[in-house]
Structure 1
């Protein structure tokens, strides 16, 4: 459910982007709804609402959520300020590569790979499996960033579709693959005797 909530701003962005541009009145102001710039404004606004809501409920945001929100504000804000979609096209690659950098850094900083810090409370695995899993996440984020960049600047008419459905599909396939991989390595943990 948590991963779905993170996709809400992206889905709203996609819906507004696909609309035929039309003028709408709101608070005695006229706005154009539809196209890249109103979709970018929707992305920024919905990200602030979604992550603001999460913060109000949980009293915190995860580091990845902070990174996503800040990247949205930075790249989306620059897209609107300079009236150029090029800035927004760089958001997904940069965010993915920063996530990869975080997973890489965890091999050198701290005593556990990042994926173990995130999932270690839920399962017990041998250290070698945690390292392989962390390396898989690094490869996944590097690939996603590169794929987003390639599509954004090579197939410009498809980049928004790829950003929404391609990213979602790649994430879903990777998580299913991770689940299959983990299922081979999970062992029943003997229950502790009750005292």
Structure 2
């Protein structure tokens, strides 16, 4: 439920962009993100730090996009957010020797430290890859292609990365001893 809720502003943005244009889509994205934050607070009792950061970025860059009627601001938001995520993961691992992925997931999953480090590096690499792909598409291809990539390509890449992560950690998870 919570994950589906996170995609609603993006889907609304996509639909309004295709039907009306950039400015209306940016305004829709901002309003939908604010409503999403309210629902998260009311239904789930709180908003995670990553969700707050994303909402602030959406409101800031979405407002610039709506005001100037220029998609470039949202294109840069995506690039900046992925760069920041990669940087945070790398800093957590190399400066503090505490992989952020472990801090986020160790309550649910017990894995060896080297696996946590590999996962942390893997996701940092994933964010760098998404940032670079976004940069290329946003600068060298049409706005329509970028919108399609942002709406569906990033979701597909994220699902693929999550599945790869699942396969990677599967052998390290406790196995059920029952027959």
TM-score where L is the length of structure 2: 0.92
What residue number does 2:5 align with?
5
What residue number does 1:99 align with?
85
- Which SS does the other structure have where 1:90 is aligned? helix
CA RMSD in angstroms comes to 1.7
Moved over 6 A (4+): none
Question: Any unmatched runs of 5+ in structure 2?
Answer: none
* 1:67, distance to aligned residue in structure 2 (A): 1.0
RCO (CA 8 Å, sep 6+): is it higher in 1 or 2? 2
2:125 is aligned with 1:143: no
Determine which structure has more spread, i.e. the larger CA radius of gyration: 1
Matches within 5 A, 1:26-37: 34-37=20-23
* 1:16, distance to aligned residue in structure 2 (A): 0.8
For residues 4-35 of structure 1, give each alpha carbon's deviation from its aligned partner in whole angstroms, at most 9, with x where no partner exists.
2211100110011111xxxxxxxxxxxxxx11
Structure having the larger proportion of residues in helix: 2
For residues 145-188 of structure 1, give each alpha carbon's deviation from its aligned partner in whole angstroms, at most 9, with x where no partner exists.
11112111111230000000100000011101111111122233
- Which SS does the other structure have where 2:175 is aligned? coil
CA distance in 2, matches of 1:63, 1:110: 19
For residues 109-145 of structure 1, give each alpha carbon's deviation from its aligned partner in whole angstroms, at most 9, with x where no partner exists.
6563111111101111110000000000100011111
